[in-house]
Amino acid sequence: MKSQTVTAAISTIALMTLQGCATISGTSTNAVAATNIPAADPMLDHYIAWVPRDKAQTATVAEAVTHISLVNAREQTAKQLCGSNWVMNGEVTTNIGPLPTTAPETAGGYPAWYYRISHRPGLRGCPSADSQKLYQTLQENLPEWMDIRTARTTTLSLLE
């Protein structure tokens, strides 16, 4: 219960601080064509956010909203499956964005910020649940504008 209060307080402070940044100019909102977004490495796990621009007026706010949503989803997943042990990813390898663009038509075609966080494959911290169940539950706890794309591993890639 205490961790929820701390998480909520930190989230509130961060959003209030970053919303103030939304009025500061200097962030270009010229949309990037989806075809110009760098391709995702298929050997990594990716969190892909299409943050609606009506939820985040700047790239900084979009980044913060994405990270806060991911932390909240991990916390909820941990409570559901892991006895509140933290669910963690491997090392972050790259971040792309946030880039102003338009979400794909399949997602609604709305003005959005594209933000991708790439990790080494695998979730840790929950020995009682298999990997597929962890990813599925984590996806269910994410906002509708955020998706998980898991790595496509091969036997050779596991040996590296």
Q: What percent of the chain has pLDDT over 70?
A: 76
144 touches 51 (CB < 8 A): no
Q: What is the pLDDT of residue 50?
A: 96
Q: What is the pLDDT of residue 15?
A: 46
Gap between the Cα atoms of 81 and 97, Å rounded: 31
More confidently predicted of 154 and 117: 117
39 touches 79 (CB < 8 A): no
Domain count, the chain: 1
How does pLDDT run across 38-89, given as a tens digit for each residue?
Answer: 788 888 989 999 999 999 999 999 999 999 999 999 999 989 988 877 787 7
Q: At 44, list the tokens.
A: 């990594």
DSSP codes, 58-84: SHHHHHHHHHHHHHHHHHHHHHHHSTT
Q: 3-class SS at 102? A: strand
Rama region for 125: left / alpha / beta (φ>0; ψ in -120 to 50; rest):
left
How does pLDDT run across 5-45, given as a tens digit for each residue?
Answer: 445 445 544 444 444 444 333 344 577 776 678 788 888 98
Domain that holds residue 73: 2-159
More confidently predicted of 51 and 160: 51
Gap between the Cα atoms of 105 and 102, Å rounded: 9
Distances 111 to 102, 108, 123 between C-alpha atoms, Å:
5, 9, 31
pLDDT higher than 50, residue 131: yes
Whole-structure pTM value: 0.74
How does pLDDT run across 83-92, given as a tens digit for each residue?
Answer: 877 787 777 8
Q: What is the pLDDT of residue 40?
A: 87
Phi, psi of 122 (to 5 degrees): 110, 145
* pLDDT tier, 154 (very low <50, low <70, confident <90, very high otherwise): low
Gap between the Cα atoms of 123 and 76, Å rounded: 14
